[in-house]
Structures are given as structure tokens and as C-alpha cells.
Amino acid sequence: MKARVQVMLKQGVLDPQGEAVRHALETLGFDGVESVRQGKVIELELAETDAGKAEATVTDMCEKLLANTVIESYAVEIA
């Protein structure tokens, strides 16, 4: 079973890297990009076959390591 975790800086936390990307896009002539937020994707392959259990485990992983919930939010997708 595969899991995909998306980690993003929380809304309201300034993302200077996203802002730098937005600025570079503007330099390249891409007008109208109002905001860029940059995050990361973590893919996991799990031995677990029960989707509910897998989601609960990966959520626990996010809380304990994969995301810093002081500044980041996360979303778990099980496939």
C-alpha cells in the first residue's frame, strides 16, 4: 500500500522560497502569478493492507516527524 504525504507551510506563515519562485516567474514573463507556496511531497510504501490503519499510522508519522505542526500543515493520501 502506498501513501503520499503533502507538507505545506501553514497559511499565514511567510514562505520566502515561494515568493522567490513567484518573482523568478515574473522575470520570465509569466504575468498574473499572484502567489506561490512551496511544499514537499513524501511517498511511503507500507506493508499494511488496510487503508484505514495505514492512514492512521501515516497521520501519526506526520504528527511525530514528517511535519512540524508549529509551522506546517499536512495531508495524507492512501493509494
Partner 1 sequence: MRAAVIQFPGSNCDRDMAVALDQVAGNAQTRIVWHKETSLPEGLDLVAIPGGFSFGDYLRCGAIAARSPIARAIVDFANRGGYVLGVCNGFQVLTETGLLPGALLRNAGLKYICKTVPLQVETTDSAFSAGYEAKQRINIPIAHHDGNYTADAQTVARLQAEDRVALTYLDNPNGSVADIAGVLSENRRVLGMMPHPERIADPALGGTDGAALFRALANRMAPA
Local structure of 5: helix, strand or coil = strand
Q: Looking at beta carbons only, is 54 or 66 nearer to partner 1?
A: 66
Distances from the Cα of 29 to the Cα of 26, 33, 34, 41, angstroms: 5, 10, 13, 28
Residue 20 touching partner 1 (CB under 8 A)? yes
Distances from the Cα of 75 to the Cα of 15, 43, 44, 67, angstroms: 18, 12, 13, 10
Residue 16 touching partner 1 (CB under 8 A)? yes
Q: Looking at beta carbons only, is 1 or 21 nearer to partner 1?
A: 21
Residue 71 touching partner 1 (CB under 8 A)? yes
Binding-site ranges for partner 1 (CB under 8 A): 9, 13-14, 16-17, 20, 64-66, 68, 70-71
